[in-house]
Structure 1
Amino acid sequence: MKSVVRIGLCVAALWGGAALAGDESYGGSGLNQGASTYHHEGLGSQTGLYVLLGGGTEGYTGANAPDLNIGFSYGATVGYKPTKMLGLEVGYNGGLTDIDRAGPGGAANGADIVRNAGQAAVTVGLTATALQPYLMGGIGIQNYNVRGLSPLFGYTDDTAGYVPAGVGLRYNIGHLLTADARVDYNFPFSQSFAPSGANGAWDGRYQALLQIGGTY
């Protein structure tokens, strides 16, 4: 029964398209509409709203690298791709870090430093394919919360800005599932959470995330 209904709908659609194409009063708009529909379907899951969630790792560079261990990071991203090549997104990311000098147990019950951040970014694809490498850049703000005995090592709560820049690889599986792997470096500004007081371009943070979600 479903097959009969589908066949009937196809016949009706074809008949309607032929009637519109043959009617001079439409000026060929039926063909243009068909081409537009085909183009939209051809874009598939490479355009539209996307939502991603995942985790990975992060670490610090420059003057802050010796004292801060590599830790766990996590993130969530909501974005929109108006074209295959361009993406606009906002995201949340966080990180858990221990102070190396505090020893194996750290300075707190759990992470010594908890970082929470929000950012806005633009992605630019390097190819218009389902497996797409891309470049990413934007601006963000992050908050450092030091816990336990961390202040004894010179660390303090702080809110600072940063500029994320990185590369990624996105893969659209079918029309819904999207996998996204990215590595970015975050250039800090107005940063003063660490005892080093380092705020140079290379006294920042790197992050690697694998996120899974969908494009709709």
Structure 2
Amino acid sequence: MKTFVRIAGCVGALWGCAVAAQEDFRPSAERAQGYVEPAREDEPRRHKSSSRADTGLYAQLGGGAEGYTGQLAPRMEAGFAYGAAVGYRPIPFMAVELGYNGSLNDVDVDGNGRGGSLGSGPDVVRSGGQALVVGNFTETRLQPYAVTGLGIDDYNIRHDAQGRLFGFEDDTSGYVPAGLGLRYQVNKLITADARVSYNFLFDQGFAPTSATPNALDGRYMGTLQIGGTY
């Protein structure tokens, strides 16, 4: 009997030690809320993804093609376009931009689509400036975006004597650009940009038209540009 009591006592003592070893000594509030051990200070911190687009000052230049629509289309042939821009992106989703753009176009004196320009070389040299607001749709390195703003054009007609004879003349007027683009941040510095836009012209006094101008008598442009963010 004594031996049995001693064995029972030993088993009880061992059981008590095991229970004590597993006992949760945390405060009751922590046990109830599910306490999670904080990360150690020596663990590496997570950095922002390198795929995010950069903010700050940027510049770009490039070239493409430009043409006219509506009743201007038969009188103006598509030509080479070029441009440069400087902008500032205060936040990833928005930028403001100042740009210069121009084009070289031949005219169709008869409006019959068979050519017949005023002379050798480009007949209309256009130079313009614009102020734009750029709205980005994403915050990644590949950014589709939309642009709008206000611009002004100066049209210079080459071969002036023939130009006046067929109704073309030098002119200055404004326009409202609206466009879409796709910008890619190649690396920390270099960017590539593709943009198409339609410009609503305030008037078309540089070219002869037979009817009252409307919004469909405008200008379209497509450009590819390379630049950098600083």
Q: Which TM-score bucket, shorter chain as reference?
A: 0.7 to 0.9
SS of 1:82 mapped into structure 2: strand
Residue type at the aligned position of 1:160: S
2:182 maps to 1:182: no
How many equivalent pairs are there?
Answer: 180
Stretches of structure 2 that go unaligned for 5 or more consecutive residues are: 1-44
After the TM superposition, which of the residue ranges 43-52 and 139-148 deviates more from structure 2? 43-52
2:215 to 196, 201, 205: 201
Secondary structure of the corresponding residue to residue 101 of structure 1: coil
- Note the residue ranges of structure 1 that are not aligned, 5 or more in a row: 1-34
Distance 2:84 2:91 in 1: 21
Residue 126 of structure 1, aligned match among 133, 137, 147 = 137
Aligned to 1:89: 97
Equivalent residue letter for 1:61: T
Larger Rg: 2
User: Per residue, is there more helix in 1 or in 2?
Assistant: 1
Q: 1:45 deviation in Å?
A: 5.3
Are 1:51 and 2:64 matched, yes or no? Answer: no
Deviation at 1:151, TM superposition (A): 2.1
Identity, in percent, stands at 54
Instruction: Output the TM-score relative to the length of structure 2.
Output: 0.73
Please say if residues 74 and 209 of structure 1, whose CA atoms lie closer than 8 Å, have aligned partners that are also in contact: yes
TM-score by length of 1: 0.77
Match of 2:76 among 64, 68, 90: 68
Higher alpha-carbon deviation: 191-200 or 164-173 = 191-200
Between stretches 193-202 and 59-68, larger displacement belongs to 193-202
Check the 8 A contact 1:45/1:215 in 2, yes or no.
no
Is the CA contact (8 Å cut-off) linking 2:108 and 2:116 kept in structure 1?
no
The AA in structure 1 aligned to 2:197 is D
The residue identity in structure 1 corresponding to 2:170 is: D
Give secondary structure in 1 for the equivalent of 2:168: coil
1:212 maps onto 2:226 in alignment: yes
The equivalences for 1:155-174 within 5 A come to 155-174=168-187
Q: In structure 2, what is the Cα distance between the partners aligned to 1:180 and 1:150?
A: 36
Per the TM alignment, residue 144 of structure 1 is displaced from its structure 2 partner at its CA by 0.5
Change (3 A) 1:97 1:211: same
Distance (Å, rounded) in 2 between the aligned partners of 1:207 and 1:187: 12
TM-fit CA distance, 1:106: 2.6
C-alpha deviation, 1:105, in angstroms: 6.7
